[in-house]
Amino acid sequence: MIDANEVLKTLCEKYAAAVSANDSLAYRQLFAPDAIRMPPKSEPEYGPDEISKSEQKDYEVAKWTVQLTPLDALRIDDQWIYGIAEGHINTVTLADGMANSFKTTKTWLLHRDDSGEWLIKRQIWNLKQ
């Protein structure tokens, strides 16, 4: 039986490691080939290539550090999990060293592919005010 909480915890760790390393290639590997990422106040991004390019643009202007806390995981069946996590993000602008921090809520629809790896099919996130 699949433990949805463990899957979400592992994804949170991989996600935080990729973002905190400012590694858009590692970040890309978290997403399914037909993934869609929906950032706040932006158009949806389609597929790992587009998602990775968008993420890389963020890394070119600031150093990102992320901590994610799993909040809830729902096992839909053996191949699908719905997960929610809270993010604590810190950025330091490369141009002037200006620091910023904020919180986010990450919502994921995860799918287990044929190899058994859990990948992000859909990601929606927002800023917490």
d(CA 62, CA 97) in angstroms, rounded, equals 9
Asked if residue 46 has pLDDT above 80, the reply is yes
Query: How high is the pLDDT of residue 8?
Result: 98
pLDDT digits (tens, 9 = 90+) for 84-111: 999 999 999 999 999 999 999 999 999 9
Asked if residue 129 has pLDDT above 70, the reply is no
DSSP state of 79: T
Strands 31-38 and 118-128: parallel
Cβ contact 36:80 at 8 Å: no
- The type of residue at 56 is Q
pLDDT digits (tens, 9 = 90+) for 9-36: 999 999 999 999 999 999 999 999 999 9
Cβ contact 67:19 at 8 Å: no
What is the CA 80 to chain-centroid distance, rounded? 17
Burial group, residue 104, by CB count within 10 angstroms (0-12, 13-18, 19+) = middle
> What percentage of the chain has pLDDT greater than the value 70?
99
Asked if residue 128 has pLDDT above 90, the reply is no
Can you list the domains of the chain with their CATH numbers? Answer: 4-128 (3.10.450.50)
In this prediction the pTM is: 0.94
Asked if residue 127 has pLDDT above 90, the reply is no
Asked if residue 1 has pLDDT above 80, the reply is no
